[in-house]
Amino acid sequence: MKIAVLDKEGKDTGRKVTLDDSIFGIEPNDHAIYLDTRQYMASNRQGTHKTKERGEIVGSTRKIKRQKGTGTARFGDIKNPIFRGGGRAFGPRPRYYGFKLNKKIKQLARKSALSYKAKSKNIIVLENFSFEEPKTRELVRLGDNLNVAGKKSLIVFPEQNKNVYLSSRNLKGIEVVTSEELNTYIITKASVLILVESAVDVLHSTFKN
């Protein structure tokens, strides 16, 4: 698949890059996308939730009424879970939600997500660029030139570009990442994938190794 390379003004530079069909043109596997996305979201959960159980509540252990002869249910102490202020039965405890996933499945998921973007023609290849200093206004202008204003855009660089990254922090719907940080979740979340020209070669070498 060949895609024209655009400049920062949104105009065709006359050059084209070839997107490898083994990466951008496979038959997408929805279940692999689901598993990789689920693992990413699960591993990002803090898992610090905690409630006090009966043994952790501070209070008297005195039996509040006799066991038999009252005509009502038996009760223990005031820390009983059925009372307000008592401990919680089977409450949540801190835990890690992440789980392991085969590397080949993760790679298949990313290829599937990229293939979906390619099939829907939501991939833009942009010539290499940078800003001399962080300028949010320049990044807004770039989005207007590429006709992606108001869309969730993901800009992929081959390596960290500090000035472009700082320019994007105040903009809603624009995310700047490196090719190493690219994952299934952020690919599927974005409406448009903007690949800097030099990032294409990095992606090709990454997925072929």
DSSP letters for 98-112: -----HHHHHHHHHH
Question: Where exactly are the structural domains of the chain?
Answer: 2-46+102-208, 51-91
Nearest to 55 by CA among 93, 27, 23: 93
Q: Which of 178, 202, 23 is nearest to 109 (CA)?
A: 23
Contact (Cβ atoms closer than 8 angstroms) between residue 161 and residue 140: no
Q: How far is CA 139 from CA 8, 135, 204, in A?
A: 10, 7, 26
pLDDT for 149 equals 86
Give 37-44 contacts, CB < 8 A, sequence gap 24+.
Answer: 37/109, 37/184, 37/185, 37/188, 39/98, 39/99, 39/101, 39/106, 40/183, 40/184, 40/185, 41/185, 42/97, 42/98, 42/99, 43/97, 43/98
pLDDT at 193: 95
Strands 2-6 and 153-157: unpaired
Strands (E), the chain: 2-6, 12-18, 123-126, 153-157, 174-178, 192-196
Q: Can you name the residues that pair with 176 across neighbouring β-strands?
A: 155
CA 135 centroid distance within chain? 25
Q: Which CATH architecture has domain 2-46+102-208?
A: 3-Layer(aba) Sandwich (3.40)
Could you tell me the two tokens for 118? Answer: 């390619």
Retrieve residue 22's tokens: 């083994």
Is the Cβ–Cβ distance between 105 and 36 less than 8 Å? Answer: yes
Could you say which DSSP state residue 49 is in? -
Per-residue pLDDT of the chain (209 residues; tens, 9 = 90+): 889 999 889 898 889 999 999 999 999 999 999 999 999 999 999 999 999 999 999 999 999 999 999 999 888 999 999 999 999 999 999 999 999 999 999 999 999 999 999 999 999 999 999 898 999 999 999 999 999 888 999 999 999 989 999 999 888 889 999 999 999 999 999 999 999 999 999 999 888 76
